[in-house]
């Protein structure tokens, strides 16, 4: 199994690369490929089990959009075929329709999902998040300059229990379509939420794999979940 990490030299904010560190521990036999920005992604010419892209600066966002634009049809094809994707933070916006600046100018995204982001660079949104996915509780953190808007009928990833969804009025967060997961949640979400890691491994075709540091990860999850319920 090949797992591709896109542009790790740029798309690595908020400690999100620890998700791939942990996945390496869970899948020691898998091949992990770190594709630098100047190289052609492996998924362009071969099937890849998982494609990961982490959060980045706004300037890098625009560069990544143009880098991936020639591969938009290929990305769409892989999503429809059921390949696994994990996009965290503002990486999700790259696959949307547009990103709007404060002056009204727009950056065209890849147009794979009906998602439109609006920037407000003078007001960063920071918050904790608690939601539900397939009956499991999911915790995380947000730190972003954008809010996202979509049409009715889109494919939400998480139901909001406490915190902010794609925008302050929406009670759903992220996008899940087939085996694509995109979420604004930041940091080591696979470490924080063993239920997500188990589901990802199942989607990758390895449902019975024991999580690395299984007892410690689950004990920490239960303790952290208790704290989230008490404080949020």
CATH of the domain at 35: 3.40.50.880
CB 138 within 8 A of CB 132: yes
pLDDT digits (tens, 9 = 90+) for 20-31: 999 999 999 999
| pLDDT at position 208 over 90 | no
- Per-residue confidence (pLDDT) for residue 35, from 0 to 100: 98
State how far the alpha carbon of 201 is from the alpha carbons of 26, 122, 154, 179, in Å: 9, 39, 24, 11
How many residues comprise the chain?
Answer: 232
**Alpha-helical runs (H) found in the chain:** 18-26, 58-68, 72-81, 189-192, 194-203, 214-231
Q: Can you tell me the mean pLDDT for 64-68?
A: 98
Ranges of beta strands (E only) in the chain are 2-6, 31-35, 50-53, 84-88, 98-100, 106-108, 115-119, 125-133, 136-144, 146-150, 156-162, 172-177, 180-183
- Per-residue confidence (pLDDT) for residue 59, from 0 to 100: 93
pLDDT digits (tens, 9 = 90+) for 144-195: 999 999 987 789 999 999 999 999 999 999 999 999 999 999 999 999 999 9
pLDDT confidence of 232, banded at 50, 70, 90?
Answer: low
- Quote the domain boundaries for residue 69: 2-231
- Per-residue confidence (pLDDT) for residue 230, from 0 to 100: 83
State how far the alpha carbon of 91 is from the alpha carbons of 6, 19, 113, 222, in Å: 11, 15, 13, 29
pLDDT confidence of 209, banded at 50, 70, 90?
Answer: confident
Other Cβ atoms less than 10 A from the Cβ of 212: the count is 17
CB burial class (10 A; 0-12, 13-18, 19+) of residue 188?
A: middle
**3-state DSSP assignment of residue 168:** coil
Question: In the chain, how many domains are there?
Answer: 1
Closest CA relative to residue 26, chosen from 184, 196, 180: 196
């Amino acid at each position: 199994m090949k797992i591709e990490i896109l542009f790790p030299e740029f798309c690595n904010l908020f400690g999100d690369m620890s998700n791939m560190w942990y996945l390496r521990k869970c899948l020691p036999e898998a091949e992990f490929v770190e594709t630098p920005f100047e190289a052609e992604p492996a998924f362009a010419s071969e099937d890849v089990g998982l494609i990961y892209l982490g959060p980045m600066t706004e300037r890098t966002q625009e560069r990544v959009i143009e880098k991936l634009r020639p591969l938009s049809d290929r990305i769409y094809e892989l999503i429809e075929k059921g390949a696994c994707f994990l996009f965290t933070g503002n990486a999700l916006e790259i696959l949307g329709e547009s990103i709007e600046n404060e002056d009204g100018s727009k950056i065209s995204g890849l147009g794979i999902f009906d998602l439109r982001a609006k920037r407000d660079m003078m007001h960063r949104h920071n918050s904790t998040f608690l939601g539900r996915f397939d009956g499991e509780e999911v915790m995380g953190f947000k730190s972003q300059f954008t809010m996202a808007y979509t049409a009715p009928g889109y494919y939400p990833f998480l139901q909001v229990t406490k915190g902010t969804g794609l925008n302050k009025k929406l009670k759903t967060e992220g996008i899940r379509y087939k085996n694509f997961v995109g979420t604004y949640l930041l940091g080591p979400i696979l470490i924080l939420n063993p239920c997500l890691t188990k589901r990802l491994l199942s989607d990758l075709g390895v449902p019975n794999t024991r999580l690395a540091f299984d007892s410690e990860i689950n004990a920490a999850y239960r303790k952290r979940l208790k704290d989230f319920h008490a404080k949020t």
